[in-house]
Amino acid sequence: MRTQVAIVGAGPSGLLLGSLLRAEGIECVVIERQTPDHILSRIRAGVLEQITVQLMERLGIDGRMKAEGLPHGGFNLADGERLIRIDIEALTGKQVMVYGQTEITRDLMAAAPSFGLEIIYGVQDVALHDIESDAPSVTWSKDGTEQRIDAQFVVGCDGFHGPSRRAIPDAVGRSLEKVYPFGWLGILADVPPCNHELIYANHERGFALASMRSSTRSRYYIDVPLTERVEDWSDDRLWDELEIRLGPQAAASMTRGPSLEKSIAPLRSFVSEPMRHGRLLLCGDAAHIVPPTGAKGLNLAASDVHYASQALVAHLRTNDTDAIAGYSDKALARVWKAERFSWSLTRLMHRFPEDGAFERRMQVAELDYIASSEAARQAIAENYVGLPI
Ligand code: RFL
Ligand code: PHB
């Protein structure tokens, strides 16, 4: 097989990139380890920045998102009984869109045939070859047969555990990482949200987040030590804890219901530099991870894909080699700012085991400052809606 761009991974990064390239008439093939059903069963992101919404618009597949998604003009930080509203619309003139990653992925999967995007699911033993040459290739096995695709470029959209990042030699790349001493235990339930906007709470018992997928489906999280097991958290125990941590106002309007999904996701900040080596480009979680506190992971994947598609189109159409050469610096500039925001919001809203009274006072002082300063709220708002592309 031969194509212009071989894409490894059919998560949101791979599907968005493949669709954008096909819309520009570029040949590409996506290869994916899992089945479509498995991918759609992963419950992940819920808040979209404008860049992500705009890419769906540009592809002409924003109909369901516009009809079913919930535009939000603000969100709240809670500290005990206090609720600090960040009026993102008044402070930035922009909104975010509450629409699940599962739904975006479903929309992209459904539209793939109309873009002529070939996705090969259920592949094994994916390996990247000759990425430092002008003729890279990818091999895999499926149903017991070895297969190979020759391409002009390979794009690694295969998430944190995929093989693409590891194809960059150690001598060229470096990774920077911060692992947090807790994970987020999430519950999805068909109950109306307790509040019309998201609430991020810092309670003395720990962090909690009230989020949603629609007016009838809620998503909640609490932070738990990494030693906790999902099996130890009955639905009732989790609802009890959420009521305490989110505070009396949210608790009063919280509806309980059986969990559709419950899982623990560890928190991590991670960046692998550079995001290109030779003819291999990395996009999304393959190159970086943010803790979910800033709702940035999927949105960073979308901005990487935006830069990567521009660079690939420029190279493949007009042989503009500078575009590819500039991809990593351009993408990383935005990635590092989102890493900073996600890290600082995580620091502000969680109780770290090593923290003492001084660190707690710093959190309270910062929350007081945010409550009293429009400039502070504006800085949070402009990061939350997404920094410029
Ligand atoms: P994905 O989604 O991990 O997709 C990678 C794909 O590559 C495939 N793959 C392979 N394919 C072939 N061969 C191999 N050897 C392969 N190895 C892996 C995988 O099967 C998979 O299909 O990465 P992508 O596309 O870069 O997308 C990134 C986003 O998924 C991620 O950043 C977000 O989900 C993060 N995130 C959030 N982001 C937001 O922008 N807003 C949010 O509100 C938000 N909330 C969250 C989140 C992530 C969470 N978890 C579980 C980590 C909430 C949570 C709880
Ligand atoms: C979610 O709804 O899953 C969600 C929302 C906001 C975040 C993280 C996750 O910051």
Q: Of 10-14, 80-84, 172-176, 361-365, which range is least confident?
A: 80-84
Q: Tell me if 267 CB under 6 Å of ligand 2.
A: no
Ligand lying nearest the CA atom of residue 298? 1
Query: The tokens of 182 are what?
Result: 């807790």
Mean pLDDT of the chain: 97
CA-nearest residue for atom 5, ligand 2, is 46
Strand order from edge to edge, sheet including 145-150: 124-129, 137-142, 145-150
Annotated domain spans of the chain: 5-45+100-177+269-345
261: part of which helix (H) or strand (E)?
A: strand 259-273
User: What's the CATH architecture for 5-45+100-177+269-345?
Assistant: 3-Layer(bba) Sandwich (3.50)
Overall average pLDDT of the 76-92 stretch: 95
- With a 6 Å cutoff on the Cβ, whether 47 touches ligand 2 is yes
**pLDDT higher than threshold 90 for residue 80:** no
pLDDT confidence of residue 45: 87
C-alpha to C-alpha distance for 46 and 24, rounded to whole angstroms: 28
What is the set of active-site residues? 72, 200, 292, 296, 384
294 lines ligand 1 (CB under 6 A): no
Name the closest ligand to CA 220. 2
Residue 281 scores a pLDDT above 90: yes
Across 281-296, average pLDDT: 98
Residue located nearest, by CA, to atom 1 of ligand 2: 46
Give the distance (Å) from ligand 1 centre to CA of residue 156: 12
- Alpha helices, H only, the chain: 12-23, 36-40, 50-58, 63-68, 88-92, 101-115, 235-246, 248-252, 297-318, 321-349, 357-372, 374-385
